[in-house]
Amino acid sequence: MITLPQDLKTDLKALRLYYTAENAVKILQDNVKNDHATLLQNLARLEIVEKKSRSIQSRMTLAKLGRFQRMASFDWSWPDEIDQEKVESLLNLDFCCRSLKSADICLLAQALGKKKARTNAGLLVA
């Protein structure tokens, strides 16, 4: 069993190494057989993933997007007026490379998923 000094968690949080602070014992157990360089490399990789996740969450909170469903759960069988290929092209930002009018999606009638598409496009850019 690995035991850590009492102040280590506080010190790691002060350094903004939040993932390491919360998972230090697990990280050490997973890397027992690794050399120090590999341990540090794994630690850095885990911290980068955690920081990116926190950054996205922070930006979503600041953007005040609220709750929404991802486009992956959108029912393309209704309504018929939505051009799935154009929406997916817009979400993939293909319009930057091709001539595609992003206004096409904004000129549709009510309750057709325009807000959902715009919200998901904003999330993909973040």
d(CA 110, CA 97): 29
Residue 38, pLDDT score = 87
Residue 99, pLDDT score = 46
Given a cut of 70, the residues of the chain with pLDDT beneath it are 94-126
d(CA 79, CA 49): 38
CB-CB contact of 74 with 124 (8 Å) = no
Residue 52, pLDDT score = 92
**Per-residue tokens: 53:** 């996740």
Residue 107, pLDDT score = 46
Residue 49, pLDDT score = 92
Residue 11, pLDDT score = 92
- Helix (H) / strand (E) containing 77: none
Strands (DSSP E) contained in the chain are none
Q: List pLDDT tens digits, range 21-46.
A: 999 889 888 888 888 888 888 889 99
